[in-house]
A and B are shown apart, each in its own frame.
Chain A
Amino acid sequence: MDLVDRYGMALLRVAQTFVRTRAVAEEVVQETWLGVLKGIDRFEGRSSLRTWIFRILTNTAKTRAVREGRSVPFTDLESETEEGPLLDPARFVGAGKPWAGHWKSSPDPWGEPEERLLASESRGVIEAAIEALPPGQRAVVTLRDVEGMTSAETCNALEISETNQRVLLHRARTKVRLALENYLTEVAGGQGQDN
Chain B
Amino acid sequence: MARDKTTDFSCKDLVAVASDYLEDRLPAAERARLEEHLAKCEGCTTYLEQMRRTIALIGELREEHVPPEASQRLLGVFRAWRHAG
> Are A9 and B63 also in contact (CB < 8 A) when A3-B70, A102-B11, A180-B57 are?
yes
> Are A177 and B54 closer than 8 Å at their CB atoms?
yes
Q: Is the interface of A mostly helix, strand, loop or mixed?
A: helix
User: CB < 8 Å: which of B1, B50, B58, B65 contacts A97?
Assistant: B1
User: CB < 8 Å: which of A92, A109, A123 contacts B46?
Assistant: A109
User: CB < 8 Å: which of A92, A100, A170 contacts B1?
Assistant: A100
- Chain A nearest Cβ from B10, distance in angstroms: 3
User: CB < 8 Å: which of A10, A96, A118, A148 contacts B57?
Assistant: A118
Tell me, in angstroms, the Cα distance from A13 to B12 when the chains sit together: 33
Q: A118 — nearest CB in chain B belongs to which residue? A: B57
Interface range for B: 35 or more
> Are A3 and B73 also in contact (CB < 8 A) when A40-B79, A177-B54 are?
yes
> Are A103 and B13 closer than 8 Å at their CB atoms?
no
Q: B71 — nearest CB in chain A belongs to which residue? A: A49
> Are A146 and B19 closer than 8 Å at their CB atoms?
no
A151 at the interface (CB under 8 A from B): yes
> Are A6 and B63 also in contact (CB < 8 A) when A86-B15, A166-B23, A170-B18 are?
yes
> Are A173 and B19 closer than 8 Å at their CB atoms?
yes
> Are B7 and A3 closer than 8 Å at their CB atoms?
no
* Number of A residues, CB within 8 Å of B: 52
> Are A87 and B15 also in contact (CB < 8 A) when A173-B51, A176-B54 are?
yes
- Chain B nearest Cβ from A93, distance in angstroms: 8
> Are A102 and B1 closer than 8 Å at their CB atoms?
no
- Chain A nearest Cβ from B79, distance in angstroms: 6
User: CB < 8 Å: which of A6, A10, A40, A181 contacts B82?
Assistant: A40
Interface residues of B in 24-56 (CB under 8 A from A): 25, 41-44, 46-47, 49-51, 53-55
Which A residues form the contact surface with B (CB < 8 A)? 1, 3-4, 6-7, 9-10, 36-37, 40-41, 43, 48-50, 86-87, 92, 96-103, 106-110, 118, 122-123, 126-127, 130, 141, 145-148, 151, 166, 169-170, 173-174, 176-177, 180-181
